[in-house]
Amino acid sequence: MTYADFASAQSIFLWSTFAIALIMGAVVNKTNFCTMGAVSDWVNMSDTGRMRAWILAIAVGVLGVTALEAAGLVNVTGTFPPYRQTNFVWLENVLGGALFGIGMTLASGCGNKTLIRIGGGNLKSVMVLLVIALIAYFMINPFPGSDKTLYSTLFYPWTNPTAVALTTNQDLGAMLFGDKAATGRMVMGAVIGGLLLIWAFKSADFRSSFDNILGGLVVGLAVLAAWYVTSNIRVDASGDILTLQSFVQDWDLYAPADAVRPAAAGPLAAQSFTFINPMGQTLGYVASGFDYTLLTFGIMALAGVIAGSLLWSLISRNFRIEWFASVRDFFNHLVGAILMGFGGVLAMGCTIGQGITGFSTLALGSILTFVAIVLGSAITMKVQYYKMVYESEATFLKAFVTALADLRLLPAGMRKLEAV
């Protein structure tokens, strides 16, 4: 997809993103695809239907990226954000993932679900979005009159020293196969993607659930579609065929005098869906007075998901205004939003951004973040359950230790409360 000028190429880049996100938003609303709900169903009811839908989305992403990368049709190495970077920030992946998992449980949904709920009329999720956006923005951007960010102040001094500098990209294919990374990516992608696909469809209940299959399939395909579009839009600059990112990096060389230069080249790299950092981008875009130079893939993705969810809510007549049920409900959502803001940026993604998009690149950090999110959410749900059942008898420590025992992370003999 090569265009004669940068403005046309950028327009297709942005509006294609909106269109894909619109479809995803409508289908996610229709099918009730929900990553937090997937963990909740598994932990509280031993129902793996929505977890299998999530795994199906991951399998589609992994197998699709494996095939497209082998064919030279996508670039998932030099991406925004850099999932396959050689700097393995394992502590940030684990800590950020755990914080995000706890936060999404308290706030009744992940970043994507927050957008879906806004489209359905949920005003609680508007507050969640605003809080996440504020934290995500200042995790990356300095405070006014300062060169300090939330990340540089609160995390960098003690998390960065634990990072491991790898000699290869951190995707499993490169790490395990070294110089034969291309072959390794095909092998690992086929094996991991195939195993995930088999597990998803192993359940007869899942195979009979149209909505779960549709939700997982469409979300996975949406991630692939975004990878494909953002990897293949080019500009014909006087015979030189350039990516949007390359064009902006050499702007003075190629751009006409009256062209409007984007604020940054990074957000024009190959990428797919993630929702926490883009919430911060959206805040910056709105605060700037809707400065077109700040418009990014992530902002269009947010708008598309909300619009798609709203469209389905109106078609299905399920649109309804919702507000906080109590003061406690408000504070749960507030704390959850704060944790998602910190965790989502620290871990470089959310249940979609790392759990599907990042996972599709087979980056070790993405897989680690996925596990941390699921465990953080599952433990939080178990603690909430025991606190509710045993009330004053269940201190946080007792509920926490029992939750770990339930999830087989501690010996059963260490549990402090009887199973219910």
pLDDT in tens, 334-390: 999 999 999 999 999 999 999 999 999 999 999 999 999 999 999 999 999 888 888
- The CA–CA distances, whole Å, from 354 to 130, 277, 399, 416 equal 21, 12, 29, 34
pLDDT of residue 54: 97
pTM value? 0.94
DSSP state for residue 136 in the 8-state scheme: H
Contacts made by residues 257-266, CB under 8 angstroms, sequence distance 24+: 259/6, 259/7, 260/7, 260/292, 260/293, 261/293, 262/10, 262/293, 262/294, 262/295, 263/291, 263/293, 263/294, 266/80
For residue 419, pLDDT over 90 is answered with no
Q: Which residue do the tokens 């009730």 mark?
A: 32
Q: Report the distance separating Cα 406 and Cα 354, nearest Å.
A: 26
- The CA–CA distances, whole Å, from 396 to 150, 235, 289, 412 equal 28, 57, 45, 18
Q: Report the distance separating Cα 420 and Cα 418, nearest Å.
A: 6
Q: Quick count: other Cβ atoms within 10 Å of Cβ 334?
A: 17
> CA torsion sign, 50 to 98 to 383 to 199?
positive
Q: What is the mean pLDDT of residues 78-102?
A: 96
pLDDT of residue 363: 97
For residue 165, pLDDT over 80 is answered with yes
